[in-house]
Every structure is written in structure tokens, then in C-alpha cells.
Amino acid sequence: MINTKTAALQKLDSAHYLHPFTDHKDLASKGARIITRGEGVYVWDTEGNKILDGMSGLWCVNMGYGQTELVEAATQQMTVLPFYNSFFNTSVEPAIELAALLAEITPPQFNHVFYSSSGSESNDTILRMVRRYWDIKGEKQRKTIISRKNGYHGSTVAGASLGGMTGMHEQGDLPIPGIVHIEQPYFREVVKDHPELKDLSEDEFGVLAAGWLEEKILEVGADKVAAFIGEPVQGAGGVIIPPKTYWPEIQRICDKYGILLISDEVICGFGRLGTWFGCETMGTKPDFMTFAKGVTSGYIPLGGAMVSDRVVDVLYQDGDFNHGYTYSGHPVACAVAVANIKLMQKLDLVNRVKNDTGPYLKQAFESLNDHPLVADAKTEGMVAGLVMLKDKANNTPFDDDDNVGMICRGHCFDNGLVMRAVGDRMIIAPPLVISHAEIDELVRLARLALDATWADLKAKNIV
């Protein structure tokens, strides 16, 4: 039985609240879980359950809950100046301070930032800026942006078009013209349709998968391609960690055809992979970086695009860029971001992920590979994923109808762990401040959930 407060809130929630990516009839039949409080890597719901947040909220609460420095930065800025815009030759102090700090922590080609309030808006900005760049350079026909199937770049019209989620494209006639997709570097998925590739090594597959970019460039016409966009590690697509050979080959191809490279760092940025930005782990030198989420640890919405010198130099040549948001450079959001980044620096958090907690998570999480349900348990810094297989010995995947991800996610919740399901993959992206003991706890709870899932599947004669 749920308590009366939960019941009342669930009723109101179902009556009035349209949630993101939600089947509302289904939600109404179950009732939402209502989260009320957070501390460190844990959150609590209205039923008093303590839950280890293995997903950092939505890949964003990198510093964990309850960081008073961030709260104080927001309070202070709210008191002094809650809002002023950056249009019409004005600026605000926190936006300037953050821009300089971002120039310091990002790779050397980045010295300028354009602010937004989310990852989606940032990718919309980049799409417009890329086209403006080629326009000023006198190559107006370079409009096409190449992206990847099963990539995620947001939910706005441009963001969802850049993304390669078929379920999103089916709703609302997407993608918009000028955006085309190539196959993702997910070996297991690609082999389903191309069994002839099954004997390739990881490294060989990485080079092959990057080669699909070159094929697409030649198909579209090299003089018509403006940019390529990708996440260093695909997050929402199921934590697809590409082979080491993939990104360097993508960079080589972009350079060969003079195509701009956009690294969508909304998840991988701000230390997630054990470097400040994912492109540093992958060995690329992008022209743009999309960021959001981790810049403020999700305490307040902020996003943006880092723009490289090569692009800025061109934009400066030709008057206004007719684009911007009311909340571009919002002073409170920028003040929180400055406090967040300074706290990360004070704690030396990026190095800790790279040299301490990242390797610790690797050995703990990858030990799940011995479970009868599990294959490919793999981490990169503080993000990890595994695939559940119906018959591990014969590499047989589950059918979609088996709903294995949803079953496992349910058991995770029941055991006090947030783990996200993407089809038959289970993924985590815990707060970067997680301790060794909390990693042990996370993996112990994940194993319990996998055991319970296995038992369910056996009872239903699915395995």
C-alpha cells in the first residue's frame, strides 16, 4: 500500500502533468514515483525509499545532490541580479566569467561560447551556425549534416532530426531536409544485418564503421556536406562505446573533405569519460562542442556551444548572426556553472575519474560479465553499459516482446537502484563523486536485479 501523500500526488500528476517520452495511459495505471529529496548519490521518494541514483538524474547531477556551493552561488546571484539579457550590446558578469573559464578548460581551439538553456537548443544553434559559416565562406550549397542512426541530439525539430531515433522521426515528419544518417558503430547490432562481418576485430570494425561516413560524403557530394555530428560515446542510444579506431578515422575523413566536426558533449562533457571533454578521450579536434547537463550538474538549466577559432574568425567577417535566446547567458545559471566547475577543479574530480573511480568502476562493473544473462559489460570513465542475452553460449538476443530491459529496470528500482534500460541494454552514468563503497553497492544491487530478472525469465520459460 502506498501512503496517502503519494496517492494524492499521483492522482494530480496523472490529471494534469504531461511527462516527457511517456505513455500516459500506462503511467496513470501505475502512478509515478515521486522523488522528493537528494543527498550525495542517493535520492528518496514519497514512500521513504532510499534509491542509489545510478543515472545522475538524467546524466547530469555529476557533483551529486546537496552541494551547498552551488546553492549559495544561485542564491547570491538571484539576490544581486536574477536576470538581465545579453542582447543589445549588454552583458552580465557571470556569463563573462564562465566564458573565460570554459575557454580555459576546453581544448585549445575553443575560445568562444554561445549560450542556451539545453542540449537541444545548443544543437539547433550549431546547425544554424554551421550553415551561416559556409554561407559567409561563399559555399552556400554546403548544407547537409551527416549524423548517425541511434544517436541522440535532442528533442527540438533540429535536435530530433540530427538524432537517429526512428521512434522520434516517425512522429512529426522528421528528419527535416538536409540531415542524413549513417549506421552507428555498434558491432553487435550491425552484425545482425551483416553476418558476413562477424569475424572482424573491434579495431577493424571501427575503421569500417567510420568509412560509412566517407561513403555518405561521396553519395551526397563532397561539396554539399557541411558537417558531421556525433556523441563521443552514444548515451541515450544505450552507452555504445565505439572501438578505439573509430573517432581518429572519422577525424581523418572530416579533414580530408574539409567538413566541420561537431562533438556532442552533452553527456560526455565535464569529466564523464575521465577527461574534461569526450573528444579528448577519443582523440578528435572538433570545430564545435555541444554542452549542457554537467556544466551546472543539472542544478539549473544551462547549455551552449563551444565554437572554434576557425569558425569564429569567419562569423566575425559578416555582421549579425540573427539568433539567440532570452536566457542565453542567464546570470543565475552561469553563476552556478562557475561554482560547479570551480568545485570540480578543487576536488580534482576529472583526474579522480580517470585514475581512481573510473578504473574501480571498470573492474566492478565488468565483473558482471560472468552473469548468465550478461555480455559486453563495459565502462568508459563513469559511464557503463551491458547487453542481456537470451542464450549467451549462442549469442542469441532477446525478442523485443520479451521486454527484458523493462523487467530488469523494475527489479533495479525495487532493490533501490536507478539503472536505465535501452531495449536489451542496461546502462549507468553515476555521479562523478561516487565513492568506492558506493560503486560496490551499485554493482551488488545491479547483480541482484539481474538475478531476479533471470528468475522471472525462467519462470516464463523465456530462457
- What are the residues binding ligand PMP (CB under 6 A)? 59, 118-120, 152-155, 231, 235-236, 264, 266-267, 292, 303
Instruction: Between 162 and 332, name the residue whose CB sits nearer to ligand PMP.
Output: 162
Q: Grid coordinates standing for 404? A: 527484458
Give least dist CB 86 to ligand PMP, A: 20
Residue 160 CB, shortest distance to ligand PMP, in Å, is 10
CB of 147 to ligand PMP, least distance (A): 11
Compare residues 189 and 231 and give the one whose CB is closer to ligand PMP: 231
Q: Which is nearer to ligand PMP, 155 or 403 (CB)?
A: 155
Supply the minimum distance, in Å, between the C-beta of residue 323 and ligand PMP: 17
Looking at beta carbons only, is 10 or 281 nearer to ligand PMP?
A: 281
Closest listed residue to residue 126, CA positions, set 313, 231, 320, 261 = 261
- Closer of 384 and 443 to ligand PMP (Cβ): 384
- Give me the least distance between CB of 56 and ligand PMP, in Å please: 11
Q: For ligand PMP, give the closer residue by CB, 148 or 371.
A: 148
Q: Is the peptide bond before 175 cis (omega within 30 degrees of 0)?
A: yes
Nearer to ligand PMP among residue 8 and residue 176 (C-beta): 176
Rounded distance between C-alpha atoms, residue 445 and residue 452, angstroms: 11
Distance of CA 283 to the CA centre of its chain: 18
Q: Which residue minimizes CB distance to ligand PMP?
A: 119
Least separation in angstroms between residue 292's CB and ligand PMP is: 4
Shortest reach from residue 293's CB to ligand PMP, in Å: 6
Give, in degrees to the nearest 5, the angle at Cα 37 between 34 and 43: 80
Task: Find out whether 126 and 288 touch, Cβ atoms under 8 Å.
Answer: yes
Nearest distance from C-beta of residue 136 to ligand PMP, angstroms = 26
Indicate the residue among 123 and 245 with the shorter CB distance to ligand PMP: 123
Q: How far is the CB of 139 from ligand PMP (least distance, A)?
A: 27
Shortest Cβ distance from residue 60 to ligand PMP (Å)? 8
Q: At which residue does the C-alpha cell 501523500 appear?
A: 5
In the block, which residue shows the cell 551491458? Answer: 386
Whose Cβ is closer to ligand PMP: residue 232's or residue 397's? 232
**Distances 446 to 58, 363, 372, 383 between C-alpha atoms, Å:** 18, 14, 14, 14
77 or 296: CB nearest ligand PMP: 296
Say if CB 189 and CB 221 are below 8 A apart.
Answer: no
